[in-house]
């Protein structure tokens, strides 16, 4: 689907198709999702981390890479002010917050995601040049978020762009878990797996991460773009996780409990097939004593030869819709915290007991749409897509189940 420029937005009734004024429960789910996004907002997370840390007094150059790059860069400027002299932002196309263009000394590059293209190679080369050109008297600051793996690349000797494209396309189509796909990407790269960090030598630097991977490991985030230096027991990079799905889940629980709702959350991140997860999540919601269940992670979908419209969250939501059909007290939201789901511009879906009926009335077959990986078409017909625009963060996916009779 072709991209279109959109300013940053949040989940509100004005632009989310999943809101129906006659059902307050849907609004509750969207507000819980909004609470998750607010807790892990890139700007606020970076600002707070830098405000509560010691300053060296040196001027700072920052490189921000990932879907949340422009938001994180704004947070750095909020905290550092005039000491932040130069900023390189590399992010997904249409994910640049307008305010970021006005930052002092800023250079913005929009690149490709989820599949890298020639822009990714240009951005990777620019990042490499930027690191090599760092003056001795500045403090380097790196702001890394999910999506960096696709957005920047410098290929190792003997590796072709066709090799890179094949790896990413096959990995995404076959539903390879993110950790495994990132490990494969490292083998092709001159900058990932800590290789970019190695170019800093002995100089001190700081790296702040918004994590979208299991374990919140800097060696995995962005395929280890600022991970540990290979072959060395330590380096002089101070690494800190400032946002993760765990924090987002905590925010959902807090917001639900403020409403007087009983909550349940699973600490372990999910990474299974989306359809199997739909079975698990709807079952856990149905049998739980809690009214709100929340899970975080990333599902996978094995794509057919000619997939339709959708992403893993839309697929999970549609699969769940089949299972909760007729259960009037059950609803489920599945959405990407970055505001996109796979190659689409929708974040995910919010389904209820009548979703499947609305799809049938639109002359579509739910099972056929799942088989063809065309969940987006079905959810659009039902009015159940969740659309937020770029959110300024990326900690993976959030699934929220609500068990509540219509109020």
pLDDT tens sequence across 270-320: 999 999 999 999 999 999 999 999 999 999 999 999 999 999 999 999 999
Same domain, 288 and 310: yes
Do residues 112 and 148 touch, judged by C-beta distance below 8 A? Answer: no
How much is the pLDDT for 232? 78
Whether residues 157 and 252 fall in one domain: no
Mark whether 95 and 209 lie in a shared domain: yes
Q: Is residue 6 part of a domain?
A: no
Q: Are residues 220 and 265 in the same domain?
A: no
Q: Model confidence at 14, in pLDDT bands (50, 70, 90)?
A: very low
53-89 tens-digit pLDDT: 988 889 999 999 999 999 999 999 999 999 999 999 9
| Structural domain ending residue among the three candidates 243, 269, 287 | 243
Both 74 and 199 in one domain: the answer is yes
19-23, 46-50, 155-159: least confidently modelled range: 19-23
**Residue 163's pLDDT is what?**
87
With bands split at pLDDT 50, 70 and 90, how would you rate the model's confidence at 17? very low
Residues 250 and 374 in one domain: yes
- In the predicted structure, residue 168 carries a pLDDT above the cut 80: no
How does residue 234 score in pLDDT terms, banded at 50, 70 and 90? confident
Per-residue pLDDT reduced to its tens digit, 378-402: 999 999 999 999 999 999 999 999 9
Is 239 within 8 Å of 269 (Cβ atoms)? Answer: no
- The parent domain of residue 234 ranges over 42-243
CATH at 69: 3.40.50.10180
Give the pLDDT confidence score for residue 387 in this predicted structure.
Answer: 97
Among 227, 243, 259, the domain-final residue is 243
pTM of the model: 0.91
CA–CA gap between residue 132 and residue 160 (Å, rounded): 24
For the segment 315-333, what is each residue's pLDDT rounded down to a tens digit?
999 999 999 999 999 999 9
Question: Is 8 within the bounds of a domain?
Answer: no
Looking at the structure, tell me whether residues 221 and 314 fall in a common domain. no
pLDDT recorded at residue 7? 39
């Amino acid at each position: 689907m072709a991209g279109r420029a959109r300013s940053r937005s949040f989940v509100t009734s004005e632009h989310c198709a999943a809101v129906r004024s006659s059902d307050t429960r849907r609004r509750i789910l969207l507000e819980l999702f909004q609470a998750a996004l607010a807790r892990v907002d890139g700007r606020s997370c970076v600002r707070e981390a830098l405000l509560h840390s010691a300053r060296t007094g040196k001027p700072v150059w920052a490189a921000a890479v990932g879907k949340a790059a422009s938001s994180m860069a704004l947070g750095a400027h909020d905290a550092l002010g005039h000491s932040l002299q130069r900023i390189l932002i590399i992010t997904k196309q249409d994910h640049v917050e307008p305010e970021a263009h006005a930052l002092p000394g800023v250079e913005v590059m929009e690149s490709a995601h989820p599949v890298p293209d020639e822009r990714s190679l240009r951005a990777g080369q620019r990042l490499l040049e930027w690191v090599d050109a760092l003056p001795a008297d500045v403090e380097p600051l790196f702001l890394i978020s999910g999506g960096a793996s696709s957005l920047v690349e410098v290929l190792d000797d003997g590796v072709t762009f066709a090799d890179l494209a094949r790896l990413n396309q096959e990995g995404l189509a076959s539903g390879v878990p993110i950790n495994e796909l990132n490990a494969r990407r490292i083998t092709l790269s001159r900058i990932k797996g800590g290789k970019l960090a190695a170019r800093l030598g002995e100089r001190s630097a700081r790296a702040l991460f918004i994590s979208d991977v299991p374990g919140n490991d800097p060696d995995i985030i962005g395929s280890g773009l600022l991970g540990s230096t290979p072959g060395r027991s330590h380096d002089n990079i101070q690494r800190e996780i400032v946002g993760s799905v765990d924090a987002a889940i905590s925010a959902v629980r807090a917001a639900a409990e403020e409403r007087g709702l009983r909550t349940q959350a699973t600490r372990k991140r999910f990474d299974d097939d989306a359809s199997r997860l739909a079975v698990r999540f709807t079952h856990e919601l149905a049998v739980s004593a809690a009214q709100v269940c929340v899970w975080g992670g990333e599902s996978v979908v094995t794509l057919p030869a000619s997939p339709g419209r959708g992403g893993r969250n839309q697929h999970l939501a549609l699969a769940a819709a089949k299972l909760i059909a007729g259960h009037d007290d059950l609803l489920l939201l599945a959405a990407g915290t970055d505001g996109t789901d796979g190659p689409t511009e929708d974040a995910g879906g919010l389904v209820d007991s009548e979703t499947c009926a609305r799809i049938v009335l639109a002359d579509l077959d739910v099972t056929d749409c799942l088989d063809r990986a065309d969940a987006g078409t079905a959810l659009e017909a039902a009015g159940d897509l969740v659309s937020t625009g770029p959110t300024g963060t990326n900690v993976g996916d959030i699934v929220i189940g609500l068990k509540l009779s219509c109020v």
